Amino acid sequence: MKYELYYWPEIQGRGEFVRLVLEDADASYVDVVREPGGYARLKAVLAGERDGVIPLAPPVLYAGPIVVAQTVAITSFLGDRHDLAPRDERGRLAALTIALTIADLVDEAHDTHHPTSVEARYEQQKPAARERAAAFRRSRIAKFLGYLERNLERNGDVLVGNEVSYVDLAAFQVVEGLSYAFPRAMARIRGEIPRLLTLRDRVAQRPRLLRYLTSPRRLPFNEQGIFRHYPELDA
């Protein structure tokens, strides 16, 4: 079976968390909106023209007759299917807890450049963005990454269980994204998150992921996605 992933083709965004799981699992999938006619197909999905639940926004994954939306729901679903999630109930719920917490961090990172309105451009809300980003740098980055560090200190080399899971892939992506968006802020807390940085490096060297990360299919971070580098927000 070939999965169908629907996400914006110009950015990593939330879709990248899904791509990382698909790539690490060596799953067969098509990034639909990167294909000719992909936007029209995405529009049809969001309009409810396909069977199953109507998703509000991408990312959306089709697995045959199954449709799943929302980033964590998709990555959890794929993790269970492709041995990238704990097999016991306790472990699965622990993984879900951490994945949802990472999703909260992603939302807060997004809101540093869009603090007042998702629809308005960054340039229309710069003063509010400066204030929001300052608070994010001052306390929120350390709070969230410190949380991941403490879980690694308790559990060992990975966040949950004994093997790399979809949660570790999400942690890799969020560290990469924050390092792009807030390089100065991240440099200041490197000494506080040694285990998390080691996990980031370990994940990056997984053979299937390394193949993807060094290919043209891995889009670079840019100022259209969630993790954006505006120097004035990393003051």
Q: Residue 42, Cα to own-chain centre: how many angstroms?
A: 20
Low-confidence ranges of the chain (pLDDT < 70): none
Cβ–Cβ under 8 Å, residues 200 and 167: no
Confidence (pLDDT) at 235: 85
Q: What tokens appear for 68 in the block?
A: 């799943």
pTM of the model: 0.96
Confidence (pLDDT) at 22: 98
User: How does pLDDT run across 186-206, given as a tens digit for each residue?
Assistant: 999 999 999 999 999 999 999
Confidence (pLDDT) at 225: 96
Query: How many angstroms separate the CA atoms of 227 and 185, rounded?
Result: 14
Residues 6+ apart with CB under 8 A from 139: none
Q: Write down all domains in the chain, each with its CATH number in brackets.
A: 89-206 (1.20.1050.10)
Confidence (pLDDT) at 1: 77
Report the residue count for the chain.
235
Taking only Cα atoms into account, the Rg of the chain, rounded to an integer number of angstroms, comes to: 18
Confidence (pLDDT) at 44: 96
End-to-end CA distance of the chain: 48
Strand partners for 3:
29
Torsions phi, psi of 143, nearest 5? Answer: -65, -50
